[in-house]
Structure 1
């Protein structure tokens, strides 16, 4: 059975279970939240070892074959380009379509997570390199350690042969182990989707945020059905670009209901390899970087939400400079969310409200009840962008093998 079908079945079972369970019973919510978190931890269990050994081998091969510059340029150009497109789309839709105002809340500012650039930079180089492997949330330190290990091996290939054999064997072992977790994650998706629907039923009961959610859904359909296929058609000369969307179904489903980009990364790495035919050089170099930095979906949702907040507080229009400011801050902030694989939208929104000032510091409280679903849309955008972007990099660097659609997992 195809992986995405198993995930869809698990999700449907979870939705049914959520509608059977009664609402507003704290004990049920606590149990559902516990099972959901356990499922996400289960899915991410093999990620760090796989990233370390896979990225080390990837960096070794790229440096040894002198392909690292071309692959890096295409990777970061695609990350920046996809983020740029998504932010522009978000601003265009929210500026053209006048959504209903969100009722003003009397809730006071509470302590929220914030982007700490100093901590992000320092965590890349902890006092011990082995400490990079301890944090299962922020993937950049793991990737950097792997890059140094792989690059060092490429500097002296003869002396590094024993270590490279260990890295390659460990990578294959981790791939086999991750396959087990990916295949059985559909059971965990029952708990994840159950908890998601329990939250969503409360959010939808007020009908306040439905127009906003509908706009984000339309934006996603435009990106998945029009923009990305056109880019693949003209940039990659792909006559059937929708096969990339098909290969992304499992990660889109998982990303939407879990809201976790690290969890979708593990799924993406298997699908891009076994469905799209991406070589390990791209799969363990570009994909982790997309997961860390390519948060264009989060930037899109953040920009849409911030404009909605401003319109809810005031009927005054926007100046050209206001639009440019929102675009620039949403765009730049998205690259600093690697430490927030889940909930990055809320963190970015609180940050942009704080930077804007003018009495809007607490504006994010208007959309706080809707955060779980807003993060779901952001994660779905980011999952699709990661697969599409990595495929573009693979095509442009000629590091993929064509696989028939019937053989997609």
Structure 2
């Protein structure tokens, strides 16, 4: 069964299940929430060893071809532009369409303290290199950094590194095959988190208050992820990239992101889609996608920017000018790069940061968005993963074009 069809079928079944299950005073939502955690954990189970061995092999191949630096710079440049443009678009959408203000209301919730930027860096770089393998579940950056260093060192002395490179290549193939099987099963199991989200939305009694905001937000995200990205890919390489085929291939990734709101869970699916559906070489997919998933939070930045502006407009009569918009956008973009240890819940952390920095005495104001926070997290995760697929495709297209040109020459 085609993986895109499998994920679509799983999502549709989840929506139907979530609509027909009785709410039962919150018991249904609690049970589905626990089952969703099991599904997410299953999807993330093989991720760390998979990306570790794949990154080593990919970096070694790119370094041998003297394209590692160019690949990294291109990926970083495209990623930064995507995040900046998406963030500005989110802010402009709120200012231009002016969705209904949300009346101030009391929300029960714990204020999320934004993590220190220095603490985030220290957490990703332990003093003992072996500790990257035993840190918490959000420490993927340390794993990737270790793999990058090992992959770069392989080229120094092939007589020493060749035996280890064979082991790495074999391990990568084994874990990729295992992930291939897991991703196929997740196409059906994704119905559980989708059903859990559907039940949460059914239980929400205040969704109508946010209807205009959600509509503006969804349209902005779809414009970027479904219109702009495929159009750029088509203009970038008309001969080999068809917009509809790319969107069709990205369906499993989009469903995984919308269902779980978890970047690491979705990365497992993206890894399979890169190779099987998009035909992206391992050297490009394995070296670009994990880094973009970690630091490419274009969707989280867009949703956070739009949400914060809605909160400011709801609580005050302040007129937000272009200068204020640019300052907020730059801060949001820069802070988004420090969410690497937060595969899920990035919107809440980003709103906490913006409120503490620019709340003007209303540091708790973002709590009015708590009723729709699960939906906001998933909308942001959707564009995050579409951005990861887009950046990987751009870098892969550029890299394959260069290699073909060299071969013809």
Give the shorter-chain TM-score range: over 0.9
Distance (Å, rounded) in 1 between the aligned partners of 2:25 and 2:212: 28
Distance (Å, rounded) in 1 between the aligned partners of 2:125 and 2:385: 27
CA contact (8 A) 1:57 1:168 kept: yes
Q: Normalising by structure 2, report the TM-score.
A: 0.94
Deviation (angstroms), 1:352: 0.4
Q: Report the 3-state secondary structure (helix = DSSP H, G, I; strand = E; otherwise coil) of the residue aligned with 1:155.
A: coil
Residue in structure 1 matched with residue 229 of structure 2 by the alignment: 228
Within 5 Å, give how 1:155-304 maps onto structure 2: 155-203=156-204, 206-238=207-239, 240-304=242-306
Distance (Å, rounded) in 1 between the aligned partners of 2:108 and 2:4: 42
Within 5 Å, give how 1:4-403 maps onto structure 2: 4-23=4-23, 25-107=25-107, 110-134=110-134, 135-203=136-204, 206-238=207-239, 240-398=242-400
CA contact (8 A) 1:301 1:378 kept: yes
Deviation beyond 4 Å, 4+ runs, structure 1: 399-402
Residue-pair matches, total? 402
5+ long unaligned stretches in structure 2:
405-409
CA contact (8 A) 2:44 2:265 kept: yes
Superposition RMSD in Å = 1.9
Q: Report the 3-state secondary structure (helix = DSSP H, G, I; strand = E; otherwise coil) of the residue aligned with 1:318.
A: coil
Residue in structure 2 matched with residue 407 of structure 1 by the alignment: none
Aligned in 2, Cα 1:399/1:153: closer, same or farther, shift over 3 Å?
Answer: farther
Distance (Å, rounded) in 1 between the aligned partners of 2:393 and 2:372: 32
CA contact (8 A) 2:48 2:143 kept: yes
Distance (Å, rounded) in 2 between the aligned partners of 1:47 and 1:390: 18
Aligned in 2, Cα 1:188/1:63: closer, same or farther, shift over 3 Å?
Answer: same
Aligned in 2, Cα 1:202/1:26: closer, same or farther, shift over 3 Å?
Answer: closer
Distance (Å, rounded) in 2 between the aligned partners of 1:52 and 1:329: 31
Deviation (angstroms), 1:353: 0.5
Aligned in 2, Cα 1:17/1:401: closer, same or farther, shift over 3 Å?
Answer: farther
Aligned in 2, Cα 1:401/1:177: closer, same or farther, shift over 3 Å?
Answer: farther
Distance (Å, rounded) in 2 between the aligned partners of 1:254 and 1:153: 35
CA contact (8 A) 1:278 1:401 kept: no
5+ long unaligned stretches in structure 1:
403-409
CA contact (8 A) 1:193 1:257 kept: yes
Distance (Å, rounded) in 2 between the aligned partners of 1:362 and 1:352: 11
CA contact (8 A) 1:236 1:392 kept: no
Distance (Å, rounded) in 2 between the aligned partners of 1:401 and 1:103: 57
CA contact (8 A) 1:281 1:399 kept: no
Q: Report the 3-state secondary structure (helix = DSSP H, G, I; strand = E; otherwise coil) of the residue aligned with 2:138.
A: coil
Deviation (angstroms), 1:123: 2.5
CA contact (8 A) 2:297 2:336 kept: yes
Distance (Å, rounded) in 1 between the aligned partners of 2:210 and 2:402: 42
CA contact (8 A) 1:245 1:384 kept: no
Report which stretch shifted further, 11-20 or 30-39. Answer: 11-20
CA contact (8 A) 2:84 2:333 kept: yes
Q: Report the 3-state secondary structure (helix = DSSP H, G, I; strand = E; otherwise coil) of the residue aligned with 1:397.
A: helix
Distance (Å, rounded) in 2 between the aligned partners of 1:68 and 1:185: 33
CA contact (8 A) 2:75 2:392 kept: yes
Residue in structure 1 matched with residue 407 of structure 2 by the alignment: none
Distance (Å, rounded) in 1 between the aligned partners of 2:192 and 2:403: 36
Deviation (angstroms), 1:95: 1.1
Distance (Å, rounded) in 2 between the aligned partners of 1:195 and 1:225: 25
Query: CA deviation digits over 1:253-281, x for unaligned, max 9?
Result: 11011101111111111111112111111
